[in-house]
Structure 1
Amino acid sequence: MEFKSLKNIETSFRQIRLFGIVFVSMCAAVVTVALVAVFNFAEKQREKIYVLDNGKSLMLALSQDMSQNRPAEAREHVRRFHELFFSLSPDKSAIEHNINRALILSDKSAYNYYSDYSEKGYYNRIISGNINQVCIVDSVSCDFDNYPYTARTYARQMIIRQSNVTERSLVTVCRLTNSSRSDDNPNGFIIEGFNIIENKDISTVKR
């Protein structure tokens, strides 16, 4: 009888120990899940910016990781450069204004093309011939696996004269390096090694 009682006590102790282990394991699991949830919540809160509008209303804006926007900004930077550099009107001040804005987005490689065009009288012919030139960027492909980033641009030039409209193909390549942002360079890139690899007539249509 005494041995049976000891056996029951030992069995009860094992059960209590098992229940204790299960209880502690469940508590550990609950604590782990709670810590993960708190950490995720804290990360999401860091992405939020609270802005006071004249101290009256509270607006919530979600901040984004800059790296997520860089590909779109790079393509926009290249697109904007081409539109400024190759879209010309028969007005000297307008040409100089657009060219100067384009040169802010690039290094000396683009300036070399500008100097070459100027020496050959290209811009003077645009003005004297009352010619409008419009650059239409079809696509910009960028390689972001290696830095500096390489970009290839496929575009068309519409050269509009009084008698006809000439369409030209334009293919260029360049490298993109990071730069400080400013009002003149909002995307924070500089174009380096700019090179025109194709620029030829596709068609001419009489007006």
Structure 2
Amino acid sequence: MFSQFRNIDTAFKHIKRFSIFLIIANAITICFTIYNNNRIIDKAYQKIFVLYNGKVLEAVASDRKSNLPVELRDHVKTFHHYFFDLSPDDKAIRASINKSLYLADESAKKQYDNLRESGYYNNLISANISQEITPDSIKLDVNVYPYQFTCYATQKLRRSSGTTLRKLLTQGFIDDIKNQTDDNPHGFLIRNWEILENRDLPPKL
């Protein structure tokens, strides 16, 4: 009779262990299923289908963080393009400068006012000088907010008598204002912008 009780007790322990194992296995299976389903859903949301010339093309979406350095550099390039790519025409200069001022704070307006008061733009117009800028490199620090940048660029001033190259070095900070508009498509704003260096380069021999 006691052996029967022992057998029942042993069988109960086995059933108890098996039940615990089954519960744990079910919990692991459920967690894996939920994780896998979420991963599949995320992948599905990252797929974008674009209709182009009657053909369905698949594109892959990515979060903004992975694209952040590219967007920041493009914002800096666009600002410098509007601020420094100038033709010898007063209306064209003002239109281009106004576009640049949408991308920066009052520090850019201050630099513009200083150049205007010094007669810089009048000299471009009177001497019929067209000015172009080529950004050589843009150094970014995306680990600290606001994002600091340093822009190294070359200016090319074309006049009837020849072409002058000028070295340009600027720096500033970029804020994410989280408000994209037609005038500011990236939704960034350059702050505390300053021109560190702007000097003529020696002519190439």
**Short-chain TM bin:** 0.7 to 0.9
Matched ranges for 1:31-70 at <5 A? 31-48=30-47, 62-70=60-68
* Aligned partner of 1:171 among 169, 176, 179: 169
Mapped partners of 2:7, 2:189: distance in 1: 82
TM-score by length of 2: 0.81
Mapped partners of 1:14, 1:190: distance in 2: 69
Query: Is the aligned partner of 1:142 residue 2:149?
Result: no
**Other-structure match for 2:89:** 91
Mapped partners of 1:59, 1:205: distance in 2: 49
Alpha carbon RMSD of aligned pairs, Å? Answer: 2.9
Cα 1:79–1:9, aligned 2, differ >3 Å: closer, same or farther? same
Given that 1:164 and 1:204 are in contact with CA atoms closer than 8 Å, whether structure 2 keeps it comes out as: no
Aligned residues: 202
Rg bigger for which structure? 1
Given that 1:77 and 1:187 are in contact with CA atoms closer than 8 Å, whether structure 2 keeps it comes out as: yes
How far 1:81 sits from its partner (Å)? 0.8
Given that 1:164 and 1:205 are in contact with CA atoms closer than 8 Å, whether structure 2 keeps it comes out as: no
User: Structure 2: which amino acid aligns with 1:38?
Assistant: N
* Aligned partner of 2:105 among 101, 104, 107: 107
**Other-structure match for 1:125:** 123
**1:72-128 C-alpha deviation (Å, 9 max, x unpaired):** 211111111111111121222221211111111111211122112222221121112
Cα 1:166–1:57, aligned 2, differ >3 Å: closer, same or farther? closer
Percent of aligned pairs with the same amino acid: 37
SS in 2 for 1:105: coil
TM-score by length of 1: 0.80
Moved more, 175-184 or 197-206: 197-206
Cα 1:108–1:20, aligned 2, differ >3 Å: closer, same or farther? closer
User: Structure 1: which amino acid aligns with 2:42?
Assistant: E
Moved more, 144-153 or 167-176: 144-153
Given that 1:165 and 1:205 are in contact with CA atoms closer than 8 Å, whether structure 2 keeps it comes out as: no
**Other-structure match for 1:190:** 189
